[in-house]
Amino acid sequence: MRKKINLRTLLMGGLFTLSFFALILRTFWIQYVDSAEIMAKAKDTWERSDAINPKRGDIVDRNGQLLAYHGKAYTVIARLKPYPNDQKNQNYVIDKEETAAKLAPILNMSQEKILERLSKDLTQVELRPGGWKIPKEKAEKVKALNLPGIGLYEESRRYYPYGAFASHAIGYTNLEGEARMGIERMLDDQLKGEKGSFTFKTDRRGNQLPDGVESYKPAKDGNKVVLTIDHQIQNYIEDALNEATAKYKMEGVSVVVSDPHTGQILGMGNRPTFNPNSPTDIKSFFNPVIGANFEPGSTFKIATLAAAIEEKQFNPNATYMSGIYTKIKGQPIRDHNQGRGWGLITYKEGVKRSSNVAFVRLGYDMLGKEKLFSYLTKFGFGQKTGIDLPGEARGSFNPNRKYYPRDIASITFGQGVSVTAIQQVAAVGAIANGGKLMKPYIVKEIRDAKTDKVIQEHKPQMVRRVVSEETAKQTRDLLGAVVNEKNGTGQPFALPGYQVAGKTGTAQVAENGRYVAGKYINSFIGFAPKDNPKLLIYVVVNQPHIDNPSAGGKIIAAPIFKSVMERSLHYLKLSPDKTDRKTVEVVTNESVVMPELGGETVESGKQLLAQAGLKGQVLGKGKTIVGQYPKATTPLTKGTPVYMLTSKEGVQMPDLRGKTLREVMELASLLDMQVPIFKGEGYVVSQSIQPGTVIKKGDKLTVTLAPKSVTPTPVPEEESKSEKNGKTERKAEN
What CATH number does the domain containing 435 carry?
A: 3.40.710.10
The answer to whether residue 705 sits within a structural domain is yes
- First-last CA distance in the chain: 126
DSSP 8-state secondary structure symbol assigned to residue 361: I
Residue 583: the pLDDT is: 33
Dihedral angle of Cα 466, 470, 471, 476, to the nearest 10 degrees: 110
Residue 61 sits in a domain whose CATH number is 3.90.1310.10
CA distances to 305, 307, 371, 381, 433 from 311, rounded to whole Å, are 10, 6, 9, 19, 19
Same domain, 10 and 64: no
Residue 729 pLDDT > 50: no
Higher pLDDT pick, 105 / 729: 105
Residue 545: the pLDDT is: 94
pTM of the model: 0.75
Higher pLDDT pick, 13 / 499: 499
639-662 average pLDDT score: 83
pLDDT band at 306 (very low <50, low <70, confident <90, very high): very high
Q: Per residue in 43-100, pLDDT tens?
A: 555 566 677 889 999 999 999 999 999 999 999 999 998 766 665 666 889 899 999 9
* Helix or strand (DSSP H, E) at 469: helix 469-484
Q: Per residue in 120-160, pLDDT tens?
A: 989 899 999 999 999 999 999 999 999 999 999 999 999 99
Same domain, 25 and 54: no
CA pair distance 437, 501, nearest whole angstrom: 18
The answer to whether residue 301 sits within a structural domain is yes
Residue 33: the pLDDT is: 54
Of 298, 355, 418, 523, catalytic: 298
| E runs forming strands in 4-148 | 47-52, 59-60, 66-79, 124-126
CA pair distance 346, 417, nearest whole angstrom: 27
- Spell out the alpha helix ranges (H) of 78-203: 96-107, 111-118, 136-145, 167-170, 182-186, 188-192
Q: Which of 571, 602, 630 is the last residue before a domain boundary?
A: 571
Residue 594: the pLDDT is: 79
Same domain, 63 and 41: no
The answer to whether residue 356 sits within a structural domain is yes
pLDDT band at 596 (very low <50, low <70, confident <90, very high): confident
Same domain, 30 and 119: no
Same domain, 649 and 701: yes
Residue 4: the pLDDT is: 58
Phi/psi-derived region of residue 177, left when phi > 0, alpha when psi is between -120 and 50, beta in every other case: left
Residue 581: the pLDDT is: 34
The answer to whether residue 475 sits within a structural domain is yes
Q: Which of 159, 191, 211 is the last residue before a domain boundary?
A: 159
The answer to whether residue 147 sits within a structural domain is yes
Q: Which of 112, 130, 159 is the last residue before a domain boundary?
A: 159
The answer to whether residue 179 sits within a structural domain is no
User: DSSP labels for 537-554?
Assistant: EEEEEEEE-SSSGGGHII
CA pair distance 649, 637, nearest whole angstrom: 30
The answer to whether residue 257 sits within a structural domain is yes
SS3 per residue for 561-623: HHHHHHHHHHHCCCCCCCCCCCCCCECCCCEEECCCCCCCEHHHHHHHHHHCCCCEEEECCCC
Residue 579 pLDDT > 80: no
Residue 687 sits in a domain whose CATH number is 3.30.10.20
Of all residues in the chain, the percent with pLDDT exceeding 70 is 85
Residue 578: the pLDDT is: 36
Of all residues in the chain, the percent with pLDDT exceeding 90 is 61
Same domain, 275 and 362: yes
672-681 average pLDDT score: 72
Same domain, 522 and 618: no
Residue 152 CB-density burial (10 A; 0-12 exposed, 13-18 middle, 19+ buried) = middle
Q: How many domains does the chain have?
A: 4
Residue 649: the pLDDT is: 80
Same domain, 365 and 448: yes
Same domain, 35 and 131: no
Q: Per residue in 264-294, pLDDT tens?
A: 999 999 999 999 998 888 878 899 999 999 9
SS3 state of residue 100: helix
Same domain, 685 and 700: yes
200-216 average pLDDT score: 63
Q: Per residue in 330-381, pLDDT tens?
A: 899 999 999 999 999 999 999 999 999 999 999 999 999 999 999 999 999 9
Whether 19 is catalytic: no
Same domain, 374 and 515: yes
Residue 91: the pLDDT is: 82
Same domain, 433 and 531: yes
- Spell out the alpha helix ranges (H) of 215-264: 231-247
544-569 average pLDDT score: 94
Q: Per residue in 519-530, pLDDT tens?
A: 999 999 999 999
DSSP 8-state secondary structure symbol assigned to residue 194: B
* Domain that includes residue 511, residue range: 231-571
Residue 380: the pLDDT is: 98
The answer to whether residue 582 sits within a structural domain is no
